[in-house]
Amino acid sequence: MLSYVPRFIALSQFFLKMNDKRNIVHIDLDTFFVSCERLLDRKLIGKPVLIGGTSDRGVVASCSYEARSFGIHSAMPMKLARQLCPEAIVVRGDASTYSKFSDTVTEVIKESVPLYEKSSVDEFYIDLTGMDKFFGCEKLASELRQRIIKETGLPISFGLSVNKTVSKIATGEAKPNNQIHILKGTEKPFLSPLSVNKIPMVGQVTYRAFCDLGIKQIKTIQEMPVEMMTKVFGKNGQTIWQKANGIDNTPVEQYTERKSISTERSFDRDTTDVKKLEGIIIAMAENLVFQLRRGNKLTACITFKIRYSDFQTYTMQQKIPYSSADHKIIPVVMELFKKLYQRRLLVRMVGVRFSHLVEGGFQIDLFDDNEKIINLYHAMDKMRDRYGDRAVMRAAGMEAKSIGRWNPFTGAPPPLLPNRRR
């Protein structure tokens, strides 16, 4: 059963040797949303600040270090957060403002380094491999950090090491507004005393499982044989063991911003069946919104397209606050359809397009949504990831079986689907 383990260990040793030649920087903007608000309102500096929905049913999207000292954390119900810290200042978030600040930071990084990866609205990986021969990686990273602080006013921290995992963990240890360089060969001693929940892929469920086994420090995992980790946690156990030992050969992937996602449906027979059209359009919109959340994206512009039997094509678009929520986007799509649809004409094709995409994920939508809705979306998306995109869907769109349900953010081309009567 575990015959592959010796080969796995050999590969791990090989990757360790490869890591020795790499210099990877992880940059993270400290309490990003809060820091942006403090730039706009200096009165918030030094005070406990909560970003998110202002009602009791809202959720905390981000919080300052002052608020964290009261036990408040992201995704906590706003009502509970207010109880823990009554003097906290609650600010409704503005996704467009944060996106602009993020774009500014991205431009600075783009001008300064040859290879970078934007992993979220406030996180970046930079590959400085080979730069130590000419300039010094730590010096270059430090000067980049100072430039970002000077040009944006935002506090920022970074970790520098031989791979992405160690650098990310190092950034967490450097915060707030600081930097740390983990020298080659010191990765394991650095990781050893830290809690196992510092490992990026260890969530709450896995952490509880470690605690039940009496494993709280990374040191214990380092001392465990990989066979035991595999028996307990399966394939994920191998990955956790690797990360605990400072092994990560994941490359920094060149950042490219996808500007839009879209889907179209041409009918084998032109139709005026309104119920059929509405069902297909809802299914198209629902799938695209799910792909937004899966790709950690938000949209700010919705476009609807319709083509009639005479090949006349009409489009209409509407800008919205940044969102990746079904209940905000689907009604807009349907409203655009109603405005463009002319009942006396046969419909040949319909299409939906989301543009003005930004990084950030559904967390930015926490500003307007309550905990119940957020938990619902998380549960639905989890079921889709596990059982397929059609595992959960609206009844109105169930008959639209040939909708292109593919992930547009993986780089793979969309599948070719035949036209169907439904």
Mean pLDDT, the chain, integer: 83
When pLDDT is cut at 50, 70 and 90, the band that residue 152 belongs to is very high
Judged on CB neighbours under 10 Å (0-12, 13-18, 19+), 416 is: exposed
Helix (H, G, I), strand (E, B) or coil at 400: coil
Same domain (yes/no): 32, 176: yes
Same domain (yes/no): 173, 27: yes
Domain membership flag for residue 278: yes
Same domain (yes/no): 243, 275: no
Residue 190: per-residue pLDDT: 96
What is the C-alpha to C-alpha distance for residues 284 and 309, in angstroms, rounded to an integer?
Answer: 21
Of 75-84, 172-181, 359-368, which has the strongest mean pLDDT? 172-181
What is the C-alpha to C-alpha distance for residues 372 and 59, in angstroms, rounded to an integer?
Answer: 10
What tokens does 305 get?
């397209």
Residue 68: per-residue pLDDT: 95
- Where residue 65 sits, what CATH number does that domain have? 3.30.70.270
Global confidence as pTM: 0.68
When pLDDT is cut at 50, 70 and 90, the band that residue 422 belongs to is very low
What tokens does 173 get?
């240890």
What is the C-alpha to C-alpha distance for residues 3 and 54, in angstroms, rounded to an integer?
Answer: 55
Residue 196: per-residue pLDDT: 95
Instruction: Check: CB of residue 323 under 8 Å from CB of residue 329.
Output: yes
CA neighbor of 167 nearest in space, from 149, 191, 192: 191
When pLDDT is cut at 50, 70 and 90, the band that residue 254 belongs to is confident
β-pairing, 179-181 vs 156-161, is parallel
Of 354-358, 371-375, 395-399, which has the strongest mean pLDDT? 354-358
Tell me the average pLDDT across 124-133. 87
Least confident of 138-152, 310-324, 389-403: 389-403
- Return the higher-pLDDT residue of 25 and 396: 25
Same domain (yes/no): 269, 311: yes
* CA-to-CA separations, 306 to 261, 283, 287, 352, in angstroms, rounded: 17, 16, 18, 9
Same domain (yes/no): 220, 291: no
- Return the higher-pLDDT residue of 277 and 399: 277
Domain membership flag for residue 362: yes
Domain C-terminal end among 134, 150, 184: 184
**CB neighbour list of residue 331: distance below 8 Å, 6 or more residues apart:** none
- Where residue 295 sits, what CATH number does that domain have? 3.30.1490.100
Least confident of 133-137, 194-198, 322-326: 133-137
Active site residue 278: no
Domain that holds residue 82: 22-184
Same domain (yes/no): 32, 179: yes
Domain membership flag for residue 192: yes
Instruction: Check: CB of residue 48 under 8 Å from CB of residue 67.
Output: yes
What is the C-alpha to C-alpha distance for residues 344 and 339, in angstroms, rounded to an integer?
Answer: 14
Same domain (yes/no): 178, 192: no
Domain C-terminal end among 140, 168, 184: 184
What is the C-alpha to C-alpha distance for residues 224 and 1, in angstroms, rounded to an integer?
Answer: 18
Helices marked H in 270-364: 274-294, 326-340
Same domain (yes/no): 65, 166: yes
- Within its chain, how far is the Cα of 165 from the centroid? 17
The number of folded domains in the chain is 3
Same domain (yes/no): 359, 267: yes
Same domain (yes/no): 155, 200: no
pLDDT at 147 over 50: yes
Strand partners, 319: 301
Domain membership flag for residue 2: yes
Q: Give pLDDT tens digits for 33-87.
A: 999 999 999 999 999 999 987 777 778 889 999 999 999 998 788 889 999 999 9
Phi, psi for residue 114 in degrees, rounded to 5: -80, -30
Same domain (yes/no): 375, 321: yes
When pLDDT is cut at 50, 70 and 90, the band that residue 413 belongs to is very low
Judged on CB neighbours under 10 Å (0-12, 13-18, 19+), 317 is: middle
Residue 417: per-residue pLDDT: 35
DSSP states along 87-152:
TPEEE---HHHHHHHHHHHHHHHHHH-S-EEEEETTEEEEE-TTGGGTT-HHHHHHHHHHHHHHHH
Q: Give pLDDT tens digits for 183-230.
A: 999 999 999 999 999 999 898 889 999 999 999 999 999 999 999 999
Domain C-terminal end among 233, 254, 275: 254
Per annotation, catalytic residue among 66, 117, 123, 227: 123
